[in-house]
Amino acid sequence: MLRILRLGATLAPAMLLTACAGGTALQPDRSIFSLDNNYQRHGFAMPIEETFDRTIAVFKDAGYRLDVIDRATGQISGRRGTTGDKGSNTDKDLKFYALVLPRDSGSELGIKIVQVIKSGTLGTSKAELIVNDPGMYQYTFRRIENAGAKAATPSPAPAAGELPAS
């Protein structure tokens, strides 16, 4: 009887470990794109497709290299490396995550901007700080709102007898 108990005590932890290493994929408890309190949100009266395209245009114009552009889910993300004057030595990068969702008759855009700072003695580890400046997000939302206004504004028609400008 003692042998059986010893064998059971030895096999029980081994069986538990092999059960954890099963073939099912491990899922993180939350996605980087899940809307939490770290996302700043803004509603637009335009359709989600237009909000998606304008968001891409604004971040590309700002120098971000986009790594996720998923129209099926509304996810966009990108990264911008160090910027500044030539010869400047900075260890800060910026990343952003955006999620475009339908809202009533328009769309809603959630954006999270993260500052990546190299740290550690050799600069090998990185810390990510969520940027919480509401003014910066308001400026970004305003740029997205106005991104299509310049393209949509027609040039004035020439007056009678004038030739159109070339």
In the chain, the domains with their CATH numbers are: 30-147 (3.30.530.20)
CB neighbourhood size of 37 (10 A): 7
**90 DSSP assignment:** -
pLDDT number for residue 26: 40
For 105-136, what is each residue's pLDDT tens digit?
Answer: 999 999 999 998 877 777 677 788 899 999 99
Report the pLDDT averaged over residues 142-158.
Answer: 68
Task: For residue 126, give the amino acid letter.
Answer: K
Which helix (H) or strand (E) element contains residue 12? helix 2-20
pLDDT tops 60 at residue 142: yes
Spatial separation of the C-alpha atoms in residues 65 and 95, rounded to whole Å = 9
Give just the sign of the alpha carbon dihedral 28, 35, 32, 109. Answer: positive
* pTM, two decimal places: 0.65
Helices (H), 97-160: 134-146, 149-152
**Three-class DSSP category at 88:** coil
Q: Above 70 in pLDDT, residue 153?
A: no
- Residue 8, pLDDT > 90, answer no
pLDDT (0 to 100) of residue 123: 64
pLDDT interval class at 14 (50, 70, 90):
low
Looking at residue 120, what is its pLDDT? 73
For 156, how many CA atoms within 13 A lie in the half-sphere containing its CB? Answer: 4
pLDDT tens digit sequence for 42-98: 999 999 999 999 999 999 999 999 999 999 999 999 998 765 545 455 567 889 999
Contact 117, 129 (CB under 8 A): yes
Predicted confidence at residue 99, as pLDDT, reads: 95
